[in-house]
Structure 1
Amino acid sequence: MLTPLLRGTTALVCLSLAVPATAQDTDPGFLGTLILTGGKRDLSFGTALSRTVVGEEEIRDRQASTVAQLIDSVPGVTLVNGTTPQGSGINIRGFGANTTFGSDQKIAVQIDGASVGSEELYRIGTQLFTDPLLYRDVEVLRGTIGSFAYGSGIVGGVVRLETKAAWDFTGGVPGFGGSQTFEFSSNGNGTVSSTNLAWMPMERAEFLLNYTWRDQDDLEAGDGTTIGNSAFETPSFLAKGKFTFGQDEAHSLSLSHSQTVADDKDVPYDQFITTADAFGRVDRVTDTRQTVLEYRFNPVSDLIDLRANLSYADQDVASDYIPGSSPLEGTPGFRGILGLADADHRYETTKLTVNNQALFDTGAVSHDMVAGFELQRRERADQPSAPGGTDERFAVFVVNEMTLGHVTITPALRYERSGIESAVDLAGAPNTHDEDALMGGLALAYDFGDGMSVFGSAAYTVGLPIIDDLGISETAQRRIGISEKSHTFELGAEYTGSDVFAQGDTFTIRGNLYETELWDITSYTVAGSMSTELDRVESRGFEIEASYGMASGFYVDVAGHLGEGTEFNPDGTDSIWRNSPADRAQLTLGRKWDETLDLSWEMVHAADRRDALGADLSDSTVHNLRATWKPEAQGWLDQTEVRFGIENVFDADYVGHLSSPSRKAPGRTFKVSLTKSF
């Protein structure tokens, strides 16, 4: 079924072979090789994972307003419904945010290990409500094979965010450090102030405070029209500390707390659109906070690297309906409207994850094994539009990377048991439901030893029922006895090397095919129906990432995705999978002059696009220019960074893929930022 895609991949493959290169990192249980290359992005090669890391340098260069806006440059990732934290959502390989909810439970989002942004709130975004400048990096794992240490039912992938630490500013040396960033964007008169204060009183203790304030008026589209409902003001706060102690500094204890708040007055209830509709307007306060306590024991032993992560995520979305703002006020159907628009949603998630990484040999086989368990309790307030209750889960998992010569075999298993309970009596229907499932995958890789390797994987996962699945309707009763299931197969190859085309150059390229099938569906209905579920969904695609860097400082980065999806109805008919990502190619040409100056030109072309209503959109091409200057000077310019960017240089007028037809993409935007470190 992947064969038709091969014809479409030829152009991307040829383009990437003519260019790209980058840096890499590792992921627990799927260890790779660190390769430093010349481009902007940290590409993780040497693993079977489809993994991309957006590092702190790129976070600053992109000057994004939201995390969703930051990672939409990753292959297969779609930013749904704009650049506001309240309305935007993240879709990976066709799963995640959609045209109804900000989440469909098929991607996972974690901040320092805390699970966030996973509630199905009608016409409200992914609830990944935070600021990009709080983070040192954002990691995107695509597909299922890398998800078994993070959750069940994950089809699209995992987004993992790691907050900044004092070490980033002091370099591990006792004393004070920090930075101050000011940023301005012309479109919407956006302003940002971000302050970091770091202190290490001694080598074994470090503390960090961050306060970021971001303000933006309504944006303008490429045709000069105002994009309604695109203004926001979000203060964010981060406090983090870490203590290291014991013999050989084997023990460490860290505590982090982050919070973002927005107080929006007289805005449409529906965050996906630009003007109020039948749901009217609301005053809405969105408050999201995460607290994480982590203990690590890492003695001088290959068998022990123990982490215990205790997290608490509290997310509160409180709305007050503005009387007279709905045209349906006074009609019989208005009660349902009011139930949505006057709801106070609150959901609290407490989670404990304990795992250990062990390195050992059994004969000729080397093992890198991560094993652990997870306890989670989610509590949700009861509202007419989102039933309340509790969701308790227990899981155990193991991922074992086994290497024998050039061959690496990585089996992964996860067993999870869940119990959900309604907050109210369901009048004869079951108030509780218990279920468990075993899921897992197998990844294979062969390293030819000359920089070339091939890999493949197969993964199976089960989406256990959630609180929303409890109910008294016939549809709810039918769904509660079904768990969604999916399998994903991937096949790919990669190459990395130096002195490939010229002396001192670096070249890295990775391409992979994937195919996913989802069945026993409970979260998607047939088009036009509220109660008849799809029979199954099939999606397939090709992803490519590559980078090339020369000794002169010239570099080229490439990222692309080609794909297609089909949704099958119970009557045997089928149609295009409504949430599948667009075909997309991204090319960046740049030049670095040591660490002083970095100039780049980014071109993004998207085809096979649709809006939220399923209507076809024309192809779009957007050009972005960026410059980073780090002057080598004494005085006030010492440790100063100046960034300048122009997004949508030619003022293209277009609607983003899967976005509401009324929510156009921002037009030309000039951005400038000044960062002073001390």
Structure 2
Amino acid sequence: MSNPLLRGTAALACLSITAPAGAQDINAPGYLGTLVLTAGKRDLSYGTALARTVVGEEEIKDRQASTVAQLIDSVPGVTLVNGTTPQGSGINIRGFGANTTYGTDQKIAVQIDGASVGSEELYRIGTQLFTDPLLYRQVEVLRGTIGSFAYGSGIVGGVVKLETKDASDFTGGVPGFGGSQTLEYSSNGDGWASSTNLAWMPAERVEFLLNYTLRDQGDLTAGDGTKIGNSSFRTPSWLAKGKLTFGEDNAQSLSLSYSETVADDKDVPYDQFETTGGSFGRVDRRTDTSQAVLEYRYDPASDLIDLRANLSYADQQIDVDYIDGSSPLQGGQSKEDFCADPFLGVICGDNRYETTKLTVSNRALFSTGTVQHDMLAGVEVIRKKRLDAPSSPGGEDRRLAAFVVDEMTIGQFTVTPALRYEHSRIESSVPLAGVPGRYDNDALMGGLALAYDLGNGLSVFGSAAYTEGLPIIDDLGAGATAQRRIGMPEKSQTLEIGAEYTGEDVFAAGDSLTLRGNFYQTKLWDITSYTVAGSMGVDLDRVKSEGFELEASYGTLGGFYADLAGHVGGADEYNPDGTSATWRNSPADRVQLTLGKRWGDDLDLSWEVVHAVERRDALGADLPDSTLHNLRATWRPAAGWLDGTAVRFGVENVLDDAYVGHLSSPTRQAPGRTFKLSVTKTF
């Protein structure tokens, strides 16, 4: 393997907790001087080897998305699988994550304020990220493995980090009251949402925030005028958050947040990926996802100490009541006998996953001779518990991990090694006939990032990363396949190389341009999470994927801006007999261009074009190329009682095209033309 050059910081940058553009916390662990430029709508990071994209609060509001997954499918390499409802949608990054069978394959990580969320391998339920977009101030997407070592093992696709809002966002950081009220309406499905934020800072060091959001959507209509079944939902969400700053020089802080989203669906298909009951029948389903986070920070006036302790609890509970006689698989059985079947009982079973995690980390800045170090080190303790289900036993997965990332700078060179060690112990909650009830695994993984600053705004970067996916609770079982999988971690390697440029006065006085392109290649072997197509229990031999990602942002003093995001690539899956096929979960080739114009802070108009080729549905059938047009406008009147008001209007799928989304069920068409309107009043 060659030693590619690499700009910026690479692995450690992925560990940063990034504030919105223009307000980044330079004292946050992992902050390495990354410059965030906002010439267009999308924030681009310059000075990091990490493939990182941030969807900020303004873009969250402008897109008026009904799910978080709909927000980030505009990021290069990200695919939204069956994404019209919170319960059914899933996130796929570079071909890993959600797929056409499960909501997740454990190869991407999702965190809310540091809490690890998302279900395990729930059959035909895409509950990887079940929450409402209006609870968050930003969503950060880290693509690939090099940025994953602070978040877990086996992360191949990347990490999705969500940051909830703070009271100081509304009070300006000074004592007093503040808040906002947002009302949204969507013509397709008569969808509407109401989101209320109430913020209070009784003193400079104390702040409280309360958010309540209610979102409702009826069945959507496709471009050809047909109704999209199983696309309606109603989800109340709420967030409570408080923070106390104390101690000498305000060096200590303690924050607590709790958020929850609930859906209570009656007489809906068990299979969330499909539009009708089909073979699996219909159910009453209640989905309840909540997370609580307690964080302590100690940041005295010392380069060697910036300590954080993050204790989180995430709970996802899905209660299902099968509707008797709705599945043709039931045959002449009674409901009780049908639900007791070891294979078909998955349709009737409740699911619950509880994850408790403690992460303690410290950032230290120091020098050894001519080498400047920016080191982040930490330990992590995780306890994940799964409820027993008719189709498989429950149990506990206990993990202990330690990680260290050291950015070493020598002149124009930056070398960043990163290591993570993780040990897991899985125990079944019920006896397993003839096999052990406890399984221990461990792994040492890591990466190396190299960088070189060529000057004049140009830099090159590259990285090599290796990770192992330790077995999960869902691998428990007495069968030969389960025993093989629970004893063999999956392994992967990712190589990346790229370049970036940022400059001002490029084409005209006062303009700014940022370009970033990177090539990646990923190999996955010792596979335990994907089977050979059409087989029962025969795992793939390996998967190889590669692609090129491009992001660009340009802006002028006159207010014109352009954002570009694209991905092109290919991937193959290899069977044990030597045959191969196109990797079933690989992303489509896609380019997205946004052209816009701002008139100060008062008016923002933009036109977005998304063109995708090499598309396939969930069954692997080829889909035609698609080109979508979206229009958006934001108006902020600044006179009289309208001061503090923002009116947003959008038209999605302007030409009312009828199409099926990439990797979606062939029966689930995408929504047709949709008019969206929202009004936000900040007080």
The one-letter amino acid paired with 2:75 is V
Partner of 2:48 in structure 1?
47
Q: For the Cα contact (< 8 Å) 2:37–2:44, is it kept in 1?
A: no
Does the alignment pair 1:580 with 2:581? no
Partner of 1:56 in structure 2?
57
The offset of 1:336, in angstroms, is 5.1
Partner of 1:38 in structure 2?
39
Q: For the Cα contact (< 8 Å) 2:119–2:353, is it kept in 1?
A: no
Does the alignment pair 1:668 with 2:673? yes
The offset of 1:364, in angstroms, is 1.5
1:641 to 637, 646, 657: 646
CA distance in 1, matches of 2:546, 2:604: 36
Aligned positions of 1:364-375 closer than 5 A: 364-375=370-381
Q: Secondary structure at the match of 1:598?
A: strand
Partner of 1:274 in structure 2?
275
Partner of 1:176 in structure 2?
177
The one-letter amino acid paired with 2:157 is G
Q: Deviations over 1:421-480 (max 9, x none)?
A: 111101111111001110000011111121100000000000011112221111112222
Q: For the Cα contact (< 8 Å) 1:230–1:274, is it kept in 2?
A: yes
Partner of 2:466 in structure 1?
460
Q: Secondary structure at the match of 1:555?
A: strand
Q: For the Cα contact (< 8 Å) 1:582–1:657, is it kept in 2?
A: yes
The one-letter amino acid paired with 1:676 is K
Farther-moved stretch of structure 1 (28-37 vs 521-530): 28-37
Partner of 1:126 in structure 2?
127
Q: For the Cα contact (< 8 Å) 1:121–1:386, is it kept in 2?
A: no
Q: Secondary structure at the match of 2:483?
A: helix
CA distance in 1, matches of 2:229, 2:602: 40
2:551 to 545, 549, 553: 545
Aligned positions of 1:442-521 closer than 5 A: 442-521=448-527
Partner of 1:589 in structure 2?
595
Unaligned runs of 5+ in 2: 2-20
Residues 376, 537 of structure 1: alpha-carbon distance in 2 compared, 3 angstrom cutoff: same
Aligned positions of 1:52-131 closer than 5 A: 52-131=53-132
Residues 155, 531 of structure 1: alpha-carbon distance in 2 compared, 3 angstrom cutoff: same
Q: For the Cα contact (< 8 Å) 1:422–1:470, is it kept in 2?
A: yes
Q: Deviations over 1:218-277 (max 9, x none)?
A: 000010100000000000010000000000000000000000000000000000000011
1:403 to 401, 406, 409: 409
Residues 23, 275 of structure 1: alpha-carbon distance in 2 compared, 3 angstrom cutoff: farther
Q: Secondary structure at the match of 2:249?
A: helix
1:558 to 561, 564, 577: 564
Q: Deviations over 1:540-566 (max 9, x none)?
A: 000000010011000000000001000
Q: Secondary structure at the match of 2:554?
A: strand
CA distance in 2, matches of 1:490, 1:378: 32
CA distance in 1, matches of 2:344, 2:519: 46
Does the alignment pair 1:526 with 2:532? yes
Partner of 2:292 in structure 1?
291
Q: Secondary structure at the match of 2:330?
A: coil
Residues 30, 438 of structure 1: alpha-carbon distance in 2 compared, 3 angstrom cutoff: farther
Q: Secondary structure at the match of 1:448?
A: strand
CA distance in 2, matches of 1:220, 1:583: 26
Residues 447, 24 of structure 1: alpha-carbon distance in 2 compared, 3 angstrom cutoff: farther
Aligned positions of 1:325-474 closer than 5 A: 325-331=326-332, 334=338, 335=341, 339-474=345-480
Q: For the Cα contact (< 8 Å) 1:462–1:483, is it kept in 2?
A: yes
CA distance in 1, matches of 2:141, 2:327: 40
Q: Deviations over 1:500-523 (max 9, x none)?
A: 110000000000000000000000
The one-letter amino acid paired with 1:430 is P
Unaligned runs of 5+ in 1: 2-21
CA distance in 2, matches of 1:178, 1:387: 46
Residues 24, 89 of structure 1: alpha-carbon distance in 2 compared, 3 angstrom cutoff: farther
Farther-moved stretch of structure 1 (356-365 vs 205-214): 356-365
TM-score (norm. length: structure 2): 0.95
CA distance in 1, matches of 2:287, 2:127: 12
Partner of 1:14 in structure 2?
none
The offset of 1:37, in angstroms, is 3.4
The one-letter amino acid paired with 2:666 is P
The one-letter amino acid paired with 1:665 is A
Does the alignment pair 1:620 with 2:626? yes
Farther-moved stretch of structure 1 (216-225 vs 476-485): 476-485
Q: For the Cα contact (< 8 Å) 1:24–1:44, is it kept in 2?
A: no
CA distance in 1, matches of 2:261, 2:128: 11
Q: For the Cα contact (< 8 Å) 1:306–1:357, is it kept in 2?
A: yes
Partner of 1:9 in structure 2?
none
Residues 580, 574 of structure 1: alpha-carbon distance in 2 compared, 3 angstrom cutoff: same
Q: For the Cα contact (< 8 Å) 2:392–2:477, is it kept in 1?
A: no
The one-letter amino acid paired with 2:463 is S
CA distance in 2, matches of 1:435, 1:235: 40
The offset of 1:337, in angstroms, is 6.5
CA distance in 2, matches of 1:552, 1:662: 46
Q: For the Cα contact (< 8 Å) 1:285–1:318, is it kept in 2?
A: yes
Q: For the Cα contact (< 8 Å) 1:23–1:42, is it kept in 2?
A: no
Q: Secondary structure at the match of 1:98?
A: coil
CA distance in 1, matches of 2:583, 2:32: 34
CA distance in 1, matches of 2:167, 2:144: 33
Q: Secondary structure at the match of 2:125?
A: coil
Q: Secondary structure at the match of 2:37?
A: coil
Q: Deviations over 1:582-601 (max 9, x none)?
A: 00000000001111111000
CA distance in 2, matches of 1:516, 1:28: 28
Q: For the Cα contact (< 8 Å) 1:394–1:416, is it kept in 2?
A: yes
Q: For the Cα contact (< 8 Å) 1:375–1:394, is it kept in 2?
A: yes
CA distance in 2, matches of 1:45, 1:308: 29
Aligned positions of 1:186-335 closer than 5 A: 186-331=187-332, 334=338, 335=341
The offset of 1:673, in angstroms, is 0.2
Q: Secondary structure at the match of 1:468?
A: helix
The one-letter amino acid paired with 2:165 is K
The one-letter amino acid paired with 1:374 is E
CA distance in 1, matches of 2:141, 2:216: 27
CA distance in 2, matches of 1:475, 1:198: 53
CA distance in 2, matches of 1:33, 1:379: 38
Identity percentage of aligned residues: 75
The one-letter amino acid paired with 1:543 is E
The offset of 1:402, in angstroms, is 1.1
The one-letter amino acid paired with 2:147 is G
CA distance in 1, matches of 2:364, 2:596: 41
TM-score (norm. length: structure 1): 0.95
Residues 549, 97 of structure 1: alpha-carbon distance in 2 compared, 3 angstrom cutoff: same
The one-letter amino acid paired with 1:194 is S
The one-letter amino acid paired with 1:254 is S
CA distance in 2, matches of 1:337, 1:414: 37
The one-letter amino acid paired with 1:56 is E
Q: Secondary structure at the match of 1:328?
A: helix
Partner of 2:5 in structure 1?
none
The one-letter amino acid paired with 1:339 is G
The offset of 1:82, in angstroms, is 2.2
Q: Secondary structure at the match of 1:461?
A: strand
Q: Deviations over 1:13-55 (max 9, x none)?
A: xxxxxxxxx9896885472432433200111221010000100
